[in-house]
Structure 1
């Protein structure tokens, strides 16, 4: 069949053949125009190989030479790994074809290769390949990616071909100062790859290039030091290389030699006049770098060359601080032996001891304390070394710091290490501090308490809010007072629904009749928090919670005003519209009427009624009890007169007192009477059966 073509109106692109037409026959005219435009753009920008010749592969991008290799291999690299000296010259397009897109190499298009694109990939053996495909995914051919072109002189240096290098540098037309895109010239290549004889040949012809820098301000000397070629370093220094020229990070060859941990190169540089107190961009000296490497031999050489012991970097960090921070005890001993200030402080006020405690270096802490390091010197944050050790949980360091730390200094800090240990659940540290006699009732200072939204103050609060039963037990047994915080830890435990914490706190004297000044109520706030946990509510009532206040109502049998609920939280009541003579405190009947609680009003009222005598329910509570038929018996229970047994029980509990109710089983009272007072008789169990935590 003759080939059919479809011409796209107003399009300068090629025509579609019959095969293409069958592919696009279901497209509209506008869609065909769009396809033609896209193919036209691709034909103008995509490199297309010819069919008569192997496909031309775009030139590979020259690889950047590695700046800080991790290997000490001194052999020249493979050809595919070598940095290019100069990029290949750009090719000019033919006169009879349009110029290519600026981002692509020249085109060489044939009819059969129309509509293909080039992609690159790497085989499993690490070989880089180039694939040519049509737009439908059909593979045309694959070819190995060609190597980047390398300057012949650079290649000779890589290969270590000294005769060839000597012959080439004597040629009159060769320019040894022409750099590649990274600013590298031949002398940099020779120094980087440790080609000593090539280096001598280059310097013999043009010695003035010895201090030339790359685009990263690296000299041949710095490159030789970084690659650890001491013979090349000696050669460069003998021929006048400047040992103090830094790179862009202000790192000198001496700094690099210390970084590599090479005493031989350090000695060569010092013997040739290298400055020992030059600062890098961070303010570090060669001594800082030797200390962080824990290389005492190099540090000793630097000190003999007049290196400053107490010199500080941009952040006020001295070499001693670096040794303590890194845990390098040998370097630390050397610095202190040579006059380092043991109590010097960084800009944030931290000392070497503080930093050792922060990083958990026990051996460093022990040595610093033996050398009379000040354990009572706070940083700008106001924290002492014992604070940071407690926060990080280093109990071994805590044991060493306790005898060296002043309790008066701890009090002036406004925070105890107990606070930090409890906040991070460091139970072992907490136990050690308690045994050492730290005050378990220490309060946060006003400034530090403001950092917390709930204005917590005591260590006990931190333990309770973390639901840490072990820490709470230790603190309470050590005499922690559960009633010191503005917002009581008991309320936190109730809100968490943690019955074990509530029991611990109540047994150790937590006030079950708490009122919050900022949120006034006519009944204890503990009742409000426990409304969703009936077992907790009953436990609080058993231990003396004021149930009678729950039945106080300023409206009594009269009509109650409607309650305005907050959109932000339906459990919180807005201030209602009241008369000027009406109490503005939230009342029990109001709280129990919130939508999230009112459906449980009957069981709640039933529990509270067990702990009061003759009371009169207000109109709103009666309204709730009348809303369900099952709650009719609760309403009858509230009608006077109450049973004589109930009134007797309340009277006996009143005589015992609220403070002794939680220890009633230890009082000289018959067991049967104790069960009766604790509502544990069979009748009481039947009455309370079916009440569960909802």
Structure 2
């Protein structure tokens, strides 16, 4: 850019000649009496122009002229004169990497540590510009190497690491404070890990920098490298003593594995799984990395953690994350969409089902989640219910625990308006129908749903209270029984009820046991109640989101004790 318009007719000539690097013209103008100290609107004089242009010869002429014009003190003041941005000729020469000019200015008593308005200085400019030889010169001439610069309090070493200038880092580690901290207590080594500057990281570690130093928020280099996905840095830190079990947060016991589960690549997670203490998986007051993988929709990481033995139930994190279990989080993340892959992985791995979880499966006209659960869960018969029921069934499915079955029935009886959707699936999965012979079911179920349920029991020996409800609903035209339900059940129906009571509804409905009975094959479907037409769901879906309905249910429902 041509700045001549900013000068007067005569007093800009020396600066213009210096900018172009024309030594003869500079000398000629000086001999004719032109001033070397006239400034433009930026505060630049002829020496600034010559230094920025990297013209050693012009710098020599100008410095000599300034020295001849007055005392040595006056010459030094001229050499260290500043632009309006606080930049000296030495600073401008360093910015351009002009080593010879810098040498000359230092001989002329340039202030090696002069700060600019933005707190930069010659050494900082040399580091930032990757001018290795200039850095070596300034360090050898006594530049202050541990001063902080910029508003963030970074040192020269911070800046060299941030820029990845490894050859300059090699120079500075011998003279700088390796553990210098910025305003967030971040060390140069932490920066190397954060920005994936592996070579700088290795130089710092080999020079003795701490691999486990913590920032103001307790984050460690290993945590930040895991979060940013720098696999090589993670491996190097672990190989050189970084502690993967050091808590890295004031808010909750966060470890590097949590950062990897939520943000990092799967390779980093795999490495940390092998070295992280498993107390984080189930320990009280801890948080399983499963939560973080689920929250970030990282199904591949969920699958890896489960495969490596992390519990699908983990610990209750209500007081830390506001989430009761990994499955609750996975369902909440997709409450208004089809269930996620993470939900499928957790259910297949045997995650326990709470009352809230059953809500997602039953308080909707969509049956995909309930079908998924029933693919991996075995509904036990009543007489076999104990306490945990966690042992795998003969076909590899996990048996529902007593508490899980209780909560399933509680939710089902509070969601009778969706019974046309969930009732056929539960009965075909082996749920004992008599468990649903409850007043609320008879009061609230649609006519079709009620008829469907009655087909699975001996409707002639219902309890008097239930018969009373049926009579009242019929009188109010709220229930219309199928014709044969007004008669005594036929012998064939009584027989299949007896077969079910002997075999158990679980074996009868979910296995091929009927094919092994000495009865004609056309009766197999009849014995499994396949002749009963299913009820049709005729309601309009609720307008409020499922998550809102669940919150409303949890705050207002009454628990119904069935078992």
Q: TM-score range by the shorter chain?
A: 0.7 to 0.9
User: Does residue 204 of structure 1 match 2:75?
Assistant: no
User: Does residue 374 of structure 1 match 2:243?
Assistant: yes
User: Does residue 285 of structure 1 match 2:155?
Assistant: yes
Q: Over alpha carbons, which structure has the higher Rg?
A: 1
- Deviation per CA, 1:191-246: give whole Å up to 9, x if none: 22323333333333333222223333222222222222222222222211112123
| Cα distance change of structure 1 residues 158 and 551 upon mapping to structure 2, 3 Å threshold | same
Equivalent of 1:342 in 211, 236, 243: 211
Q: Secondary structure at the match of 1:448?
A: coil
| Cα distance change of structure 1 residues 547 and 230 upon mapping to structure 2, 3 Å threshold | same
CA distance in 2, matches of 1:261, 1:635: 89
- Give the match for residue 403 of structure 1: 274
- Give the match for residue 415 of structure 1: 287
Alpha-carbon deviation of 1:659? 5.5
User: Does residue 187 of structure 1 match 2:47?
Assistant: yes
Residues 417 and 444, structure 2, Cα contact 8 Å, conserved in 1: no
Equivalent of 1:158 in 19, 24, 28: 19
| Cα distance change of structure 1 residues 591 and 267 upon mapping to structure 2, 3 Å threshold | farther
Equivalent of 2:196 in 311, 322, 327: 327
User: Does residue 390 of structure 1 match 2:250?
Assistant: no
- Give the match for residue 126 of structure 2: 257
Alpha-carbon deviation of 1:312? 1.5
| Cα distance change of structure 1 residues 608 and 243 upon mapping to structure 2, 3 Å threshold | farther
- Greater shift, 346-355 or 656-665, is seen at 656-665
- Give the match for residue 542 of structure 1: 428
- Give the match for residue 492 of structure 1: 360
- Give the match for residue 297 of structure 1: 167
User: Does residue 457 of structure 1 match 2:325?
Assistant: yes
- Deviation per CA, 1:620-653: give whole Å up to 9, x if none: 8558855xxxx85x47676565556555555654
Ranked by relative contact order (alpha carbons within 8 Å, sequence separation 6 or more), the top structure is 2
- Give the match for residue 675 of structure 1: 525
- Give the match for residue 15 of structure 1: none
Residues 85 and 184, structure 1, Cα contact 8 Å, conserved in 2: no
Q: Secondary structure at the match of 2:179?
A: coil
User: Does residue 86 of structure 1 match 2:12?
Assistant: no
Q: Secondary structure at the match of 1:261?
A: coil
Alpha-carbon deviation of 1:656? 4.7
User: Does residue 688 of structure 1 match 2:534?
Assistant: yes
- Give the match for residue 424 of structure 1: 296
- Give the match for residue 383 of structure 2: none
| Cα distance change of structure 1 residues 529 and 297 upon mapping to structure 2, 3 Å threshold | same
- Give the match for residue 114 of structure 2: 245
| Cα distance change of structure 1 residues 299 and 619 upon mapping to structure 2, 3 Å threshold | same
- Deviation per CA, 1:606-630: give whole Å up to 9, x if none: 444444525544688558855xxxx
- Deviation per CA, 1:321-379: give whole Å up to 9, x if none: 12222222222222111111121111111111112211212222222222222111011
Alpha-carbon deviation of 1:266? 0.6
- Deviation per CA, 1:129-187: give whole Å up to 9, x if none: xxxxxxxxxxxxxxxxxxxx99444433333333333344456574725341x333333
Residues matched between the structures, number: 490
1:48-87 matches, cutoff 5 A? 81-83=1-3, 86=6
Alpha-carbon deviation of 1:319? 1.5
- Give the match for residue 437 of structure 1: 309
Structure 1 residue runs without a partner (length 5+): 1-80, 90-148, 517-522, 554-586, 593-600
Equivalent of 1:312 in 181, 187, 206: 181
Alpha-carbon deviation of 1:435? 2.9
User: TM-score of the superposition, structure 1-length normalised?
Assistant: 0.62
Residues 254 and 274, structure 1, Cα contact 8 Å, conserved in 2: yes
User: Does residue 355 of structure 1 match 2:224?
Assistant: yes
CA distance in 2, matches of 1:625, 1:231: 105
User: TM-score of the superposition, structure 2-length normalised?
Assistant: 0.75
| Cα distance change of structure 1 residues 604 and 338 upon mapping to structure 2, 3 Å threshold | same
CA distance in 2, matches of 1:203, 1:530: 96
Alpha-carbon deviation of 1:417? 1.4
Q: Secondary structure at the match of 2:356?
A: coil
Q: Secondary structure at the match of 1:534?
A: helix
RMSD in angstroms over aligned alpha carbons? 3.8
- Deviation per CA, 1:561-592: give whole Å up to 9, x if none: xxxxxxxxxxxxxxxxxxxxxxxxxx558867
| Cα distance change of structure 1 residues 498 and 368 upon mapping to structure 2, 3 Å threshold | farther
Structure 2 residue runs without a partner (length 5+): 67-74, 379-399, 461-465, 541-563
Alpha-carbon deviation of 1:274? 1.0
